[in-house]
Structure 1
């Protein structure tokens, strides 16, 4: 169990934690959320012992291994598969020792240990992880230096997943992944055998991979059971209750103060006035957590053009005369909201560049409406901002004749305040840089906005603000994103980029997700000859087994819901109740483990019944 007990820590005199506590049982998957800058990454550094606590303590089981993605991605000549295999330091050391060991007893010990840790199955496991993160078999044999920084970060993620530390710390792990990689990571983390802490603003990841949410707010830590949506509902209810109590208290205070103000000078009422004044002084203010103002995005509105704004006829596009995509026959109208789906390397970026006019068709033609303007936002543009200039400098380069007040108003429309406007870009947060890049991409009021991974570095509140802005925007939107929540709320059309083509995808996002996850499953072995058909009594016995399994699952679900409700009570975590909370959390973990086993037994029983009745 990870115990965080009454910790305090400040950065540059600003307190981030004050007597904050939390307990994470072994094997739990916990999402860590909170506004940008509240200390989520600092918490990881405190857990790793990289920073010193000012008070309290953080304890882990003896010899527990802590792992996280290295800040610097590997860029050497070692192959990807060997880089990942080397992350299991025990396996690497044992294999190295097999070349030098001469003592028969030691050789036997080494071989036994290698067998215990499944050393011989490690290459297949490493290859599976790399494949899940988007690397083909051929790419896995290439050196790390052959890949860009974002792809190297995937290698670093693959390495820590392969090493399987007892406590896995992941800080925004989907920022360098595409949709396919993010979906694979969700399912992998849900099956991960040890404890996981995930700092993320990806709602789907927090809903599917996390069983509880640790919220960092007002320098305290609060653990909520369930995924992000359950956390949001529970917290909203708590906020509403606190606000209601605060209003009642303020009305009571105003009533008492009114009496004091009216009768303070009257001798006959002086005692009562003083009594009420003391009552006011003794009232402990009921405070509600300070929410960050929803930082808006304000996209300028373009004039309406005659449809279609883009028409593509029998076109192909690629590089150096070699087509990546061909036989393209597509149309885009100004009210379209289109998500581009497809695995990395299939041509999504190539297609986006053609739509943006950065690549011209090799054959066929692409025509655009008169006066058509396009805005393009890609993650690499955030990294290409001038770090030694301010946001005002960036926008002044594009609008040299505009008044400073107008330039500031433009920045304010994207949540960049007066203070940040004069701050060097190199000192801005990732989210502030992304906002600046979005502002620059939309400054000309484009009729079509192409967004390639726009939510990286944006917190959840900013992502919701982006959804609202895109909904209100009067131009076309082309989206490439691993954020399923964003895609589901914004996109009303899906185009699949695959096998050299771009074509409408007839299913929805959930069916696409299911297709991707099913395609990752290993091929089934050829079935043996059909077994003898079971008797009627055998079928009845299997049906009874199914019913028993189903009843067991229902009972465990009821137990889980009762325990989750109990653990969601904030008073459970009051000082002096740590041991009681630990008991209930342990019971919850035991029920979840039993539920997983029961569901597995139920599914196997259903499969037996299906085969028996076939």
Structure 2
């Protein structure tokens, strides 16, 4: 259906692909993996024709339609979210826009003298809209947007008023509504809450076209794909099976290649030792010459390519008292909307609470109340003795000095630390080589988030409050963070949409629902087993 045949591609001085070949067949779902900068987005752009290969060919079957979702969504404004989503579905969107204009005209008292013509035109346009399946399409657009957690007000409001993350969802909904023959999705799981993520997972499982996607969410990837294509060192390697199978197979291949490399190195060392020992003896000249020729002909086994995964031993946190935080009779309202009424909740030392709830349930508000970022309207929030609080939130990124470099920001925070230690810390969070000299003002949102996290964990507090800490982290960094926090002996309260993170680190669940607050002993895995749902209001 879509084929890449011996493609070569170079971006500046970086060689991205060398004689790389792969194919995407009808109906199959493929995960595209590789280290940051390996060329995943370049591959998508080659398939869509936005870039051309330097060598080789990219081809697709005649008439195949391709929908491509990327992180660069462009400018959106002046239309409703529904209209923007329908716009990807051809002429029906233009007819829908005219229908809206005519409806506005019919309600305009200044245009009474034109009303007969407006009504007549409205009848014609309405018939055309119906003929094109517009009413069904609008219903489908609303269904997709609803799955991605849009409220009816957000669907009908100007898309220009939405944040960047919500505009991403609009762009994603547009591709999903198109239902092309092939979908290329570059990090569709970014910016989604858990409920939207589970809905998208279900949608993609039912999608009958071909799918190729990248994602830093291993659970999401694992449940959807049936084959993995890995980009590494300019080559494309295909693995049959889901993401978990790929990881196991790759580890096995590395182990076998390492063993083969070591065996060959031992043999070569033995031969070279013989040559060095007897090369000056005439009696062994023939044997030496024979072995030299043999070495020249041997095809060398390369050692396996090592993925750069930096581990960092974070210092232990100081011990807090047994009572970490207590909320008693807490009320919180925003305008006429009540978020909490008479909330009682307490956290004890070494508990790790994950907070679950649909959009608007008050997850981030709870974290703000606990950290003192917002005050309750009534009741009290009290931190326990010897509690050293660390709060990771999106607004923390605005407090970074834009003129500092990444390394300078770490040095300023920890003036007594050694350079080697700080460079190792930076490397853990994806800042290697020249990246540490980047000015903070040019960092992306994800890079700023990683820098804030690095600064927090180098001198760890004993009570970590984390609001979506894994956003923007690649799988390697996420695994490093999970490993570090698994060893952490302090207390945690966190919100996350990453099920792997939730399952690995929680030992308590706080569920916020319209009928009140529910607590569960045991972590996220036990919560799923007991409730039969992966998120509030959704059945697994």
| TM-score over 0.5 for the pair | yes
Q: Which of residues 206, 225, 235 is equivalent to 2:221?
A: 206
The secondary structure found in structure 2 opposite 1:269 is helix
Q: CA deviation at 1:279?
A: 1.4
The secondary structure found in structure 2 opposite 1:456 is coil
| Structure 2 residue ranges without an equivalent (≥5) | 103-116, 118-123
Deviation track 1:414-463 (CA, whole Å, cap 9, x = no partner) reads 56446332233456677654431202233542111122222222222222
Could you tell me how far apart the structure 2 residues matched to 1:342 and 1:479 are?
12
Instruction: Map 1:186-585 to 2 at 5 A.
Output: 186-319=201-334, 323-379=338-394, 381-382=396-397, 385-386=400-401, 388-399=403-414, 407-408=422-423, 411=426, 414=429, 416-417=431-432, 419-425=434-440, 432-499=447-514, 501-505=516-520, 508-509=527-528, 514=533, 516=535, 519=538
For the 8 Å contact 1:74–1:144, the answer to whether it is kept is no
Could you tell me how far apart the structure 2 residues matched to 1:383 and 1:5 are?
46
For the 8 Å contact 1:308–1:332, the answer to whether it is kept is yes
Show the counterpart of 2:171. 156
**1:40 and 2:40 are equivalent in the alignment:** yes
**1:66 and 2:63 are equivalent in the alignment:** no
Q: Say how many residue pairs are matched.
A: 511
For the 8 Å contact 2:145–2:173, the answer to whether it is kept is yes
Return 298-307 or 205-214, whichever deviates more: 298-307
- Structure-2 change in CA distance of 1:323 and 1:431 (3 Å): closer
- Structure-2 change in CA distance of 1:91 and 1:171 (3 Å): same
Show the counterpart of 2:154. 139
Show the counterpart of 1:584. none
For the 8 Å contact 2:319–2:386, the answer to whether it is kept is no
- Structure-2 change in CA distance of 1:428 and 1:138 (3 Å): closer
The secondary structure found in structure 2 opposite 1:445 is coil
CA RMSD of superposed structures (Å): 2.9
- Structure-2 change in CA distance of 1:263 and 1:426 (3 Å): farther
Show the counterpart of 1:88. 89
- Structure-2 change in CA distance of 1:31 and 1:418 (3 Å): closer
- Structure-2 change in CA distance of 1:375 and 1:176 (3 Å): same
Query: TM-score scaled to structure 1, two decimals?
Result: 0.77
Q: CA deviation at 1:400?
A: 5.6
Query: TM-score scaled to structure 2, two decimals?
Result: 0.86
Could you tell me how far apart the structure 2 residues matched to 1:386 and 1:89 are?
46
For the 8 Å contact 2:65–2:180, the answer to whether it is kept is yes
Q: Which of residues 112, 118, 123 is equivalent to 2:138?
A: 123
Q: CA deviation at 1:411?
A: 3.7
Show the counterpart of 1:559. none
Could you tell me how far apart the structure 2 residues matched to 1:181 and 1:361 are?
29
- Structure-2 change in CA distance of 1:412 and 1:93 (3 Å): closer
Q: CA deviation at 1:79?
A: 1.5
